[in-house]
Structure 1
């Protein structure tokens, strides 16, 4: 059927806006990762959409749209799955399959490097042999609620190497070990007890023991290493031998050239307005910014943008197309009503009132830098918008603090209560997140 690809291209934009709207409609069910992902797609895909829409012929629009859909999907299987999910049954036919990797992930010099792996008993054993986990230390921890109940976590560890490098010694600097947990069932953390790590896994769950009493446990636990010398480790040498020396190809790169081409006039202005708006929404990727970004306002301003772009580009003459894109710019900017001033974010002492803890992020002090970096804690809270009990709640980000001690437990994320922080029995400067 003619026009399928270009219609699907526009539908992906409208579907992205619908995802953003639903994921941000109320702070009590805010899904920061979903909002970020849906907005991030349009960093590199907005200009290709406009270029496809403004082709002179229907055949040209379809050809460019197919190229654009292929470019979008080539980022990987998870991107293609996301696109098909938005488009429904027709997506399987319209979105090309992603090219699979042609070999192990490699450095530019052809040496294998570690990929992201699910934590299993075998993986835990390998890591315990190659790294001094009893000396590992927590650098960062982020625990976050996605949607209404899904608790996720990201943990960054500094772990010394246990294997020798070229000069026969062990490397002095620690490597970064990142742990992601898709569904957290338990978290107990105390920054005063954050040295020493034990990795465990069974058929369904995995856990990271932190210090003497800490734990991060859940389903869907994955480990990612940032170790430029991993090929010298036991696991790396085995992977290098299995991969062989033939071919230096890394993971399959995008096969097609970025389909931007030339874009000028009103269409370019419209593309820049839309892309800038999506980049603004993408700012929720920084937990300190969620209190100043209103995804709902952007969704209101650009509602139906995908259909409008496709319809504007299909007009017969260049003059009519340019006029249509000019109208879109006027409509979009008129609905936006001005930019958000980051300085206007609320900084009232919102910790003592009714609230839901949505995110807690901790960064350990770093005394080894030329300019020592203090520890830092960031909270995202869902708080009532006003006196109307039925109104959606809003996100509130208290001022960052530099706690001398940081403690967190799973219970802090359960239900509505009074999130309190202060100098409890742990001494001055301690930040304990609890519910009363």
Structure 2
């Protein structure tokens, strides 16, 4: 008869999720030409609110208490939409500790947000030809203005995209509108066509060809692809014909819960376990920040993830000790992370990074273009960010480099710019990449 593990299976599953997250982040960031910042951000974000719970479960006084704490924490972790629940179920099963049988049923996703009056002012969901017709009937698409564009490569060659539009209303408002237009954000999971000229952004038309989105803007602008969804923000949308029908079919009492209460009281570890949990938490937050422009190219995500490899099992081993031996084991664990991570690991704990992310005149692959116009009604200023994958040395792994420009000038690009290797032409305030992409503006100070 096999010996029973000193750790309950639910706690082993909890630790396996951490190790799976770290291993996947390391895999995704090994070569910047094949990275996926969105998935890295998603994985790191899981551990914003779950790191402390893992340490608390690992240091509970009895095996029964460790099982109860980890079971409650896993149920809460998985109860953040169908994608999170499926990930918890799939990864724990792959590790040999399935937990799906005790997870809560998947909640339907949030499709709308209400304002302080209870009126629906944000709506999200798939974008279909029927929804495009509703938008054309209720908003003046001919007078639409492009406010933002984001194209991001992920994996070996795929590109996702988001286009932001300002849409003047056709329907009458109630006189209390904050602004005379709505904002539409169109997301495309797999972009198959893109052309953009920042000097030609007025007017839009939303159509579909063979099931693929074809969003045209200006005289020659285009964003096309598969897996289209939309987010409409309009504080008067509930007064539109579509909004009235939707509001009538979705009373407030049917809304899914926005805030999920923890059934375990959110216990926190004590002593050196709490300190070490804080170290891991800070590093995960640093990894998450690479999704934002200020972190891209500055945070050595692959190195950080490599240092943390095997963290889940090491946390369980330290937590299984008692008294001074437990504190010593957690102190050794944190010190080992710092020793192996060196200066870069210490910088992650202090949100200070010395790495220079500026692109160099060496071969590169374009990984992201993010452009936004200024908004006179808010403090949002015009900005442009570009991310390039480049090797720091001829035989070194490719890493991310970034260029941020304020008050950007004309921007021209096509989808083809993401599928070529070229040496960027760099001068102060200007970057040219291949035959199509040119970007100008004042460099953002680092």
TM-score in same-fold range (> 0.5): yes
Mapping of residues 126-165 of structure 1, within 5 Å: 126-165=134-173
For 2:262, the equivalent position in structure 1 comes to 256
Distance 1:116 1:381 in 2: 31
1:191 aligns with 2:225: no
Distance 1:328 1:181 in 2: 42
Given that residues 405 and 430 in structure 1 are in contact (C-alpha distance below 8 angstroms), is that contact kept between their aligned partners in structure 2? no
For 1:385, the equivalent position in structure 2 comes to 392
1:292 aligns with 2:302: no
CA RMSD of aligned residues (A): 2.7
Superposed CA deviations along residues 253-294 of structure 1, whole A, max 9, x for unmatched, are 425347522432111101100000100111111134221111
Superposed CA deviations along residues 147-181 of structure 1, whole A, max 9, x for unmatched, are 111111111111122221224x9874322211111
Could you tell me which runs of 5 or more consecutive residues in structure 2 were left unpaired when the two chains were aligned. 437-446
In structure 2, relative to structure 1, the CA distance for the partners of 1:290 and 1:348 (3 Å cut) is closer
1:324 aligns with 2:329: yes
For 2:405, the equivalent position in structure 1 comes to 400
Superposed CA deviations along residues 172-198 of structure 1, whole A, max 9, x for unmatched, are 432221111100001000011111111
Equivalences, count: 422
Mapping of residues 275-286 of structure 1, within 5 Å: 275-286=281-292
Residue 420 of structure 1: how far off its partner (Å)? 3.9
Distance 1:422 1:220 in 2: 38
Residue 231 of structure 1: how far off its partner (Å)? 1.1
For 2:183, the equivalent position in structure 1 comes to 176
Please give the TM-score of this superposition, normalised by the length of structure 2.
0.87
In structure 2, relative to structure 1, the CA distance for the partners of 1:102 and 1:287 (3 Å cut) is closer
In structure 2, relative to structure 1, the CA distance for the partners of 1:148 and 1:166 (3 Å cut) is same
Given that residues 76 and 98 in structure 1 are in contact (C-alpha distance below 8 angstroms), is that contact kept between their aligned partners in structure 2? no
Distance 2:320 2:358 in 1: 50
1:215 aligns with 2:237: no
For 1:62, the equivalent position in structure 2 comes to 67
Mapping of residues 28-427 of structure 1, within 5 Å: 28-89=33-94, 90-91=97-98, 93=100, 96-101=103-108, 105=112, 107=114, 109-167=117-175, 172-202=179-209, 204-243=211-250, 245=251, 248-253=253-258, 254-257=260-263, 259-315=265-321, 317-338=322-343, 339-340=346-347, 344-346=354-356, 350=360, 352-369=361-378, 373=381, 375-388=382-395, 391-420=396-425
2:405 counterpart SS class = coil
2:403 counterpart SS class = coil
Given that residues 194 and 214 in structure 1 are in contact (C-alpha distance below 8 angstroms), is that contact kept between their aligned partners in structure 2? yes
Residue 349 of structure 1: how far off its partner (Å)? 5.7
Distance 2:109 2:166 in 1: 31
For 1:434, the equivalent position in structure 2 comes to 434
Distance 2:196 2:268 in 1: 53
Residue 48 of structure 1: how far off its partner (Å)? 0.8
Runs ≥4 residues deviating over 6 A: none
